[in-house]
Amino acid sequence: METTVIADDGTRLWASASGDGDPLVLCHGGPGLWDTLGDVAGLLADRATVVRWDQRGCGRSRRCDGPWTSERFVADLDAVRAHFGFERTALLGHSWGAQLALSYALAHPERVSALVYVSGTGIGPDADWHPAYVETFLARLGDVPERLARWRELTDRPDLTEQEDRERAVLQWSIEFEDRDRALEHAGRMADPWYGINTECGRALNEERRRTWGTPRLYEACRAVGLPVLIVDGARDIRPRSAVDSLARALADVRRVILPEAGHMPWTEDPKGFREAVASFLSR
């Protein structure tokens, strides 16, 4: 069931609900992308009423001028929750969406029943993970030198066609998968259909994270939250998983599952392990 959610400032957000059971709202990665969590919704459809949505100015949601702030995106997520009539809901966030889901849980703990934090980067500063990520990214893409050369060529050009923009994204996203033989196939599925990346949104929210993450105030807020949290990681994610230790140490009620053969999208490379981890947590 597809629907339109109206945020409190009138911005129109695309959303979709499927499955049956207690509510679970998914927060996709990015920032600046669109929902790519259809497979996650399918894996959990027999356990939850799963809501997917495209974040402000992205994908099937109406293009707008922002504002591109975590506070605004938290308010949008609250509008999604209210639209479906959920007094409380579990949240599952992936990558940047894990940061968004955590931010929502800190702002509105009374409206969250549980948090599933997938492939995030913890609550420390970017220095905890970003330099190693860039190094490993270039090394992994460089395993096929012509792919690295083509990605660099497209990244250096400001005037890409829509097809070239999609090609650059698929090359970049391919490094997120441990199965190198199927990496381009998996990345291509993420880009089909292609909605175009909201680069302004991505830049602004990434800059906000660099300013605000890793602060004593954030650590204290996480220590105070009493919600049950499941952290799910793919051991082969090229972002150092040690960065997530900062969050795990701060939480009072946390369970952590590491899927040994999966990368940044663990449900793609270990759907059985991912489903078992999430479903058992939501059933507790």
| 5-39 pLDDT tens trace | 999 999 999 999 999 999 999 999 999 999 999 99
Give pLDDT < 50 ranges for the chain.
none
Structure tokens at 45: 């459809």
Would strands 254-259 and 89-94 be described as parallel, antiparallel, or unpaired?
unpaired
pLDDT value of residue 201: 97
Q: Where in the chain is the domain with CATH 3.40.50.1820?
A: 2-129+199-282
SS (H, E, C) 182-230: CHHHHHHHHCCCCCCCCHHHHHHHHHHHHHHCCCHHHHHHHHHCCCCEE
pLDDT value of residue 284: 85
What value does the mean pLDDT of the chain take?
Answer: 97
* Prediction pTM value: 0.97
Distance in angstroms (rounded) separating the CA atoms of residues 191 and 170: 7
CATH number for region 2-129+199-282: 3.40.50.1820
| 48-78 pLDDT tens trace | 999 999 999 999 999 999 999 999 999 999 9
